[in-house]
Chain A
Amino acid sequence: MSVQVWTWILVGITFSLYFGIAIWARAGSTKEFYVAGGGVSPLANGMATAADWMSAASFISMAGIISFAGYDGSVYLMGWTGGYVLLALLLAPYLRKFGKFTVPDFIGDRYYSNTARTVAILCALIVSFTYVAGQMRGVGIVFSQFLQVDITLGVFIGMAVVLVFAFLGGMKGITYTQVAQYCVLIFAFMVPAFFISMQMTGNPIPQLGMGGKVEGGTFLLDKLDALHTQLGFNEYTGGTKSTWDVFAITLALMAGTAGLPHVIVRFFTVPKVKDARKSAGYALLLIAILYTTAPAIAVFSRTNLIETVSNKEYNTIPEWFKNWENTGLIAWTDKNKDGKIQYVAGSALSSKKPEFTNKRGSNGERLISNANNAANELYVDRDIMVLANPEIANLPNWVIALVAAGGLAAALSTAAGLLLVISTSISHDLIKKQLKPDISEKGELLAARIAILVAIIIAGIFGIYPPGFVAAVVALAFGLAAASFFPAIVLGIFDKRMNKEGAIAGMIVGISLMLFYMIKYKTGLIGVMDPRPANEWWFGTSPEGFGTVAMLVNVVVSIIVSRATPAPPEKVQEIVESIRIPSGAGEATSH
């Protein structure tokens, strides 16, 4: 059977499963809608958290990014897993004990102030929208690639699908669908990895194969380092970023991970404090399966790619190369007219993406209009590494189709989780807690559903007309979360003396500083249109790593301001004492 038929079959089966679950797990109350009724088992919650966490970016792009970045890619691996240690040790158990629905709930009550709550809602919306904008685009791309439709239609299909399970089921529907999505996506990620690891190193476990030997008895990584040096790239295991920047980015990603509202809210859904801790452990274990496999895939596919294309005649290149060339994700220009592909360090193009003319060259390649004069002749989009991997390794068609189903599961589960946080912020934190406290449960549920509908439409518009800065900004959502929530929550638990003045000042200074830096050095909206160059970065910190600086500023400001203003009231200090003790958590409530 062809790949296309297999794709329709596998996507069809998995989607019927998701819809079945969504209908079975309909939400009847606000509690079911916001926190799945508070009765999710730690393992199920761990799986849902993992699916929620691993987006289309983790599934498709991460291995590709690492493949091209080598050691520098470690920031994502450590950053996006190490954050769970912070979450498990510093946040999850205490927030579960506190027992409300949302992060702004905690901030609002702990800092006895509606101003603090409003600042937290704003931060939650900024963080979640930055993140979801990228996801909807990802959903569109995945659908369009796999179902052979254009991206706009892909986004519409994605919107419709997310709407069904988020709208009907709320947190309950999303949680149980995500459990199924986790199984699909991890299976789809691992199967090709096993095959390829076996092929290249004779060891089916990719984590071990990565450190294994290839034919001829050299270690795979040594061979790759040698290939890199030979072609003028930096050593794969070496890296190019400064040690400080690697440090800063990793820390910002870790703190950001622990401070992302859509991750934190997960730990409100389990019955006890004990379960919250265990659930964070399961979540990280399940995430780690993918995160330790991705760098192995990166090494396999990087080696495979170089060996397949470097100095080979275009006419003898395998079919997959030409297929991806037709989609525009690979481009080749025969600059020295020898009919062979020269793949060496440096960009092959004068701008970022290839611009294709409608003509074919003498070898049958697609001609592009923006080739530069550098020695490198090949452009390869990083995103194809995971998608093309099964084809490069000649795996059976059903495996290629399985990757499609996995990519869709990853994209949809993350988008759904984020949209729910956005709708909760509006219906619960804003309407119920501030604007209209006497709203009935039915009314609140209706408001939540309307909010989710509006959020999907806005996210969909971002997906169809992506503002130029979206892609650049998604990674920065972590910096924003690190600069705002993370310190406010941790200080709220561990520093009894922290008061509203300190927390509010810290959050505002932290998020503003981060926004300013990100806009100045990433989008260039302040002053000139081009982002300011890297040599002007403060202390050599990239925008991705600046969350670490903004977070430290937040902490310092919070502590200084809080010590200069009155201590929090007795009642609040009692709340802090009570969340430090695990027993008597009861169920998450709204009052």
Chain B
Amino acid sequence: MASKKEKASAYWKENIKYLTILLIIWFLVSFGAGILFRENLNEFRLGGFKLGFWFAQQGSIYVFVILIFIYVRLMNRLDKKYGYDE
């Protein structure tokens, strides 16, 4: 392993990469599917729901919960990889 400082900055870079990906999904399901593109999505249906409406009142919330738990897993793995877990 490289010096302590390089290790820390490599860890931080990977962390930022995860954050960016997860936050893009966060944005897409709520602001995207639930707000900006909901009219288009409302053309499709999920059972009795119009799809855009479903994302705004149900779907986005489910995805939020899943996102945090994915983040927890990714970070736990990352901590182990760099020896930051305790």
Contact surface of A with B, Cβ cutoff 8 Å: 66, 71, 73-74, 77-78, 81-82, 84-86, 88-90, 93, 207-208, 210-213, 219-222, 237, 243, 246-247, 250-251, 272, 274, 277-278, 280-281, 284-285, 288, 291-292, 295, 577, 580-584
Contacts and interface: CB of A to CB of B under 8 A. Distances in A.
- Central interface residue in A71, A210, A292, by most chain B CB within 10 Å: A71
Contacts of B48: 210-213, 219-222
B65 interface: yes
Contacts of B42: 237
A285 B63 CA distance: 11
Contact of B19 (A89, A210, A274, A291): A89
5 contacts: A74-B57, A247-B31, A247-B36, A274-B86, A281-B71
Q: Which of B19, B50, B53 has the most CB of A within 10 A?
A: B53
B29 to A, nearest CB: 9
Contacts, number: 131
Contacts of A280: 68
- The A contact surface, by secondary structure, is helix
Given A78-B60, A221-B49, A582-B84, 9 more contacts: A85-B68, A211-B46, A211-B47, A247-B31, A272-B86, A281-B65, A284-B68, A285-B65, A292-B61
Interface in B1-60: 8, 11-12, 15, 19, 22-23, 26, 30-31, 34-36, 42, 46-50, 53-54, 56-58, 60
Contact of A74 (B34, B83, B85): B34
A118 B13 CA distance: 33
Main secondary structure of the interface of B (DSSP, over half): helix
A288 B50 contact: no
Given A74-B56, A243-B35, A250-B31, A277 B72 contact: yes
A581 B64 contact: no
Contact of A78 (B46, B61, B76, B79): B61
Contact of A288 (B22, B61, B79): B61
B31 A295 contact: no
Contacts of A243: 35-36
Nearest to A90: B19
B58 A292 contact: yes
> Which A-B residue pairs are the 10 nearest by beta carbons?
A219-B48, A74-B56, A211-B48, A281-B68, A583-B84, A211-B47, A295-B57, A237-B53, A211-B49, A88-B68
Nearest to A295: B57
B86 A583 contact: yes
A84 B35 CA distance: 19
